[in-house]
Structure formats: structure tokens, C-alpha cells
A = this chain, B = another copy of it.
Amino acid sequence: MKTIADIAKLAGVAKSTVSRYLNGGSVSEQMKKRLEAIIEETGYTPNTFAQSLKAKKTNMIGTIVPGLDSYETSQILTGIDNELRKWNSHMLVSNTNQNLARELELIYRLAKQKVAGIILLATEITEAHLQAFQEIAIPVLLVGQQHEEVHSLVHNDEEAGYAIGKYIIEQGHRRLAFLGVSEQNIAIGINRKEGFKRAVREANGCEVHFFETGFTMKEAAEGALAVFEGYFPSALICATDDIAIGAVKAAYKKGMHVPANISVTGFGGYSITEMMNPALTTVKLHFIEAGEKAARHIIKLANGEDIPKLIYSGFEIIARESVDKRFAPG
């Protein structure tokens, strides 16, 4: 392994000159050519530890995720990694396994590793988080959740909820059920629901009941069973694709056919939804693009540039087979 001293010796100059060349400092044209050739020839690359020791900063971006095993997370990470590569930066992934204490610990730990920035796929932002962000003094970007005091990138959940609500109403459905999650989760528990409500308010003669369940397909299957007791919606709007998958499973268990007896919609656009029987109508969130956007923005923050506090990522309705057209009664 060559060091900067080797290059300097080969070029017959001081190390500082080589360093200046490497970092875009003032070096004569002639010297530039000479150094460029030597570096090219020797395949020299600076030792990142020595750099980091002085500069007290790395070119790594830390990402903290609640779990590695969801479609959403995988896609977002793919996007982040895609983009970071272009910037010659690396992604350091840490998994909290849904453990809030561990999340805080990781924030401090990444700070210690001197990452240039942190992308946090957060579920909830507590006071302790805010304090941590202050202390570490490293740029942080929230993805999927928003907080007024922190840079955030979110899917436009409210708009998306509105869009799917509007779609289902346009198909003629009027007896609706919404199967969501706890309001502790702002993006999914509140915003998606609120958007849906807005669509309902704009329509005429809708009856709608709201239900709550967990995030796993299993919990959702049970949650859906509860929906079907006593109330018979013609359409069930689910707050995530996993919930919709559980709901479809529950419907079949009850002997109901989708969409003949009940229409079901998801939220997310997981690839599996296309392969279900029937294929699921859902709101596709652009996860990969969101990850790429997040990467671009955290790099800007790391470079001291300014970015908007709140950034939106796109979505689209994917109409497939799980929703029937109804002719609205009266």
C-alpha cells in the first residue's frame, strides 16, 4: 500500500503538496499533471482512517431501520444505496428490531463513528430523540414520519389516503370499512385515515366504520374478522398491504369471495400484491425513489447546504382485481 509520502517522494515534492492536490487546493498546472500521472500509475488511494482522524468525519451515511424484513425498508435502503454510490459514499445499516432504546443507542453510536449524516426510518420521535439530535450535531433526516423540528421525507400519506378513498367511492362503494393502525403512528395511523375521511366527506351517503389492528398479517387477519362481525361493508380499505393480505385471508376463511362479496384495497404497493389471488388494488408508494431522494438530501445536509424541512415522495393508485364496480344504491 502506497502512502502519501510515497507519492510525494516519487514526485519529488512535499506531502503537503500532494495533499493539496488531492483536496483541490492550489497547485500549479504542471504539478497537477505530474501528480495525476503518478497517482494513476501507482493506484494510490488515501487512507480513510488517517483522513477521518484529522477531518473528524467520514463519508459514511448511517441508516437506522426498525427491521430489515419489510418490503418498504428493503426498497428504501435499495434507493439510498443506489444514490450514495454515486456520491462515493457508503451506507452503514443498523437495525433496531423495533427497540426504541436501541434506536437511541444507535444514534449515539453512529455519531461516534463520525458518520456524515443519519437517515432514520423512524416509527416515533420522542423527547429523547430530539435531545440526541441536538447532542450529536450531525445532520439527521427522518423518512416515513415527520417532525416539525427535524428534516423529514414522507410519502404524502394524506393525499394518498384521499386518492384511494376517492377511487373506491368512484367504483360505487358506499358501505365502507377502514382497517387502520394506532394513532401513535402519525403517517399511517392518522394521515392515511384522515385523507380517506376527506374523500368520504366529499361524497354522498357513505356509511363508514373504523377499525384498528396491528402491523402483522396475522394481527390483521384477526382484526378483519372483527370487522366482519355485525357489519357488512362492500369495501374494506386497509392502511397497509400486509393488513390487506391478512384481511383477504380472513375473508376467505369466512367463506367470502374477494371482490364478489367484498372489495379490499391495500396501501404500499408491495410486489407480492400483484401475485395474490385476486391481485390487490393498492396505493403504490415510490419507495426506491424515496430512498434516492433521502440520500440526495442527507448529502446536501452533510455538505452544509440548506434543504426544505419537509419533503414529499410520490404515489399512484394501482387498480387491479380486488375491487368490484358497484352501482351506488339510490
Residue total for A at the interface (Cβ-Cβ under 8 A): 42
A52 to B51, CA, bound (A): 11
Is A10 close to B, CB under 8 A? no
Number of copies: 2
Chain B residues in 8 Å Cβ range of A156: none
Chain A residues close to B by CB (< 8 Å): 45, 47-50, 52-53, 67-71, 73-75, 77-78, 81-82, 90-95, 97, 112-114, 217, 221, 245-246, 248-249, 252, 271-272, 274-277
Contact with A91, one of B93, B248, B271 (Cβ below 8 angstroms): B93
Chain B, Cβ-Cβ closest to A71 = B69
Shortest Cβ distance from A102 into B: residue: B85
Q: Which of B45, B74, B248 is A112 in contact with, Cβ under 8 Å?
A: B45
Instruction: Among B77, B95, B248, point to the contact of A277 (Cβ < 8 A).
Output: B248
Residues of B within 8 A of A217 (CB): 271-272, 274-275
Cβ contact of A90, chosen from B45, B69, B94, B221, cutoff 8 A: B94
- Bound together, the chains give a CA A189 to CA B265 distance in angstroms of 37
Partner of A81, one of B68, B77, B112: B68
Q: Which chain B residue shows the least CB distance to A279? A: B249
* Further 6 A-B residue pairs, CB within 8 A, beyond A45-B112, A47-B53, A217-B271: A49-B50, A68-B75, A69-B78, A74-B74, A78-B95, A245-B275
